Amino acid sequence: MCGIVGYAGPKPAAPLLLNGLAKLEYRGYDSAGLALLTGNHHLNIIKKAGKIGNLIAAVKAAKVPASITSGIGHTRWATHGQPTDQNAHPHMDCSGRVAVVHNGIVENYQHLKKQLQDKGHQFRSQTDSEVLAHLIEEQLKKHPWKEAVRRSLAQIQGTYSVVAVYEGEPHTLIGARSGGGALVVGWGKGETLLASDVPALLAHTRRVSYLDDNEMAVVTPTGPSFLNVLTGKPVVKKVSEIEWTAEQAEKGGYPHFMLKEIMEQPRALEDTFTSRLDPRTGSVVLEGKFWDSPFIGKFKKITLLAMGTSYYAALVGKFLLEKYLRIPVDVENASEFRYRNPILGKDTLAIVITQSGETVDTLVALREAKAKGARIATICNVMGSSATREAEGVLITRAGPEIGVASTKAFTTQLGAFWLLTLFLAGKRKTMPVSELKKKAKELSRLPQLMAGLLKQRKSLEKIAHEYAHYFNFLYIGRGIHYPIALEGALKLKEISYIHAEGYPGGEMKHGPIALIDSKMPVVAIAPKSSAVYEKMLNNMEEVKARQGRLIALVEKGDKLAAAKADAVIEIPSVSEDLSPILSVVPLQVLAYEIAKKKGREIDQPRNLAKSVTVE
């Protein structure tokens, strides 16, 4: 989600770093900053909230000399702490001699921060990342620069891509990675670069090495050296030649942002759970005082407000919240909400669900709910957005920036967030036994791995897509908690392929849609065996086949009974009914993508659609 650029070489560092950050703007960010190392061992930090233009103006005002030829830059996407100048990266130690930039999450930062404060360290920001600078400061009292960084990283629990600089060694940058997103070393001629993605490097070199987990790069103008963070032993890295265009590089080598974001879903879901979900105890921690307020134990009703894909996530959320909290939950289309004088009160928790946090209809609904006395929370992907500023409680999904207009990883992380919220509230209100909380938490923790395995089916889905891309109409059917997945699957297909598609509850088919079914009407049936209405879904599938409908069945692996009824079969792993929507939607996303690709559509920017809808 954040962007990192580092440079050691003969060229003026400031413009080079700013240009590199601009190449990473697609990643999404809300502040930006530079740390520049002068020849006289002085560390100059310049950082600003907002867009890179603000940072460019600040660098210009500072009259940074061209003689500064080493430094690091960062674009931050806020997680811990609001997007302010103070919380922007780079972060410094107390002495002002060390600066770090960081992507990822330091899960044990509160513990480390307390230890450091007890030793007299003064913190300037609200971020988890700042602890890294202070840890290095402590280690520098006993160890040289490289070893101080390595020993500091060994204390971190969580994920990181880090680049650090030290005024004592102004032409030596140190980068390291452990599950916190990519970190790439660029091999130039008389210069070396670091970046979180190759677009920032392509103007200078196409020769790169990728850091793996627990690896560290020591970067100087004459080249990099590599070592293992845990052992300190040298590592030999392969040098690769980048063949992508700049546009392709921004997509990580994928032909479309949508496919990249589909493939990122295991990581995004894991990030959403990280530091919040404890599978050993079943406990969930949500950030912010609101979630610990007395209101959380007293409210009597939940109203969910959303639009589009987020609305379908809310429909799944309704199933979970009602089942495990045993309180009424309404799901409202945000664009219609304020026009019917809805009934809410002080005992209502209104939750707005929005990827961007800026969808105007959703914001208007939020304000209407607040005006009627409801307490407001949001499930959102963008910290610092309007929705997060106006809500009392915030649950960030950590999907990272989603550039493709058709939402994919935002949806699955929203479902993950609803599970976090459900387990958190059920634990607070004691509506689920501890044994059940533990069981669900353990199952949830396995989902990213299962999802990664599911994505290996792309070739089989491509084959199905090629067979069905010439049809003009599709029906998607599901029952219970899978009905919203039918809606979302149909939406994905219509958004990017321009094929007419509708989602229906399986039981609704005989009340009208069944009249449409013939040999020219493919039907996608979502029929996992774990469903409480599995037998009824099998009946619906029989109704399709009796009318010569073309049936694509999404079934659990090994379910020969359901598979035998279908013309094409998509398999998902067997999980409990309530968790299966997170998995079952993924192949439907891939199917829509492959059909749209077969038809030659503009997948990332489908006609008439925008990523963030800012008009009513």
pLDDT at 253: 80
CATH 3.60.20.10 intervals, the chain: 3-249
Residue range 603-616, pLDDT digits in tens: 987 877 654 453 34
Of the listed 301, 370, 598, 611, which one is catalytic? 611
pLDDT of residue 244: 58
Burial readout 457-485 (b: 16 or more C-beta within 10 A, e: otherwise): bbeebbebbebbeeeeebbbbbbbbbbbb
Joined tokens for residue 317: 């959320």
179 pLDDT higher than 70: no
Question: By mean pLDDT, which of 20-24, 33-37, 127-131 is the weakest?
Answer: 20-24
Structure tokens at 82: 């609001």
What kind of fold does domain 456-598 have according to CATH? Rossmann fold (3.40.50)
CB 221 within 8 A of CB 188: no
| Residue ranges matching CATH 3.40.50.10490 in the chain | 259-454, 456-598
The second-level CATH assignment, the architecture, of 3-249 is 4-Layer Sandwich (3.60)
pLDDT at 56: 94
Range with the poorest average pLDDT among 198-202, 270-274, 503-507 = 198-202
Q: Is 94 a catalytic residue?
A: no
CATH (one of 3.30.450.20, 3.10.290.10, 3.90.70.10, 3.40.50.10490) for 259-454: 3.40.50.10490
- With H, G, I as helix, E, B as strand and everything else as coil, classify residue 531: coil
d(CA 94, CA 135): 10
Model confidence pLDDT, tens digit, residues 235-254: 999 898 876 555 545 677 88
Catalytic residue among 2, 47, 251, 438: 2
Identify the DSSP state of 43: E
Distance of CA 380 to the CA centre of its chain: 10
**What tokens does 151 get?**
């020993």
Query: Percentage of residues in the chain with pLDDT exceeding 70?
Result: 95
For the cut 70, the answer to whether the pLDDT of residue 109 exceeds it is yes
pLDDT at 614 (0 to 100):
37
DSSP string of 378-433, one letter each residue: EEES-TTSHHHHH-SEEEE-------SSS-SHHHHHHHHHHHHHHHHHHHHHT-S-
Q: Which residue has the higher pLDDT, 80 or 334?
A: 334
Mean pLDDT over each residue of the chain, to the nearest integer: 91
Whose tokens are 């509506």? That residue is 431
Residue 196 pLDDT exceeds 60: yes
For 294-303, 358-367, 581-590, which range has the lowest pLDDT when averaged over its residues?
A: 358-367
Give the tens place of pLDDT for each residue, 298-316. Answer: 999 999 999 999 999 999 9
Record the pTM.
0.68
In this prediction, residues 354-379 reach a mean pLDDT of 91
Do residues 132 and 106 touch, judged by C-beta distance below 8 A?
Answer: yes
**Which are the contacts of 523, defined by CB distance < 8 A and separation ≥ 6?**
474, 475, 476, 477, 517, 544, 549, 550, 551, 552
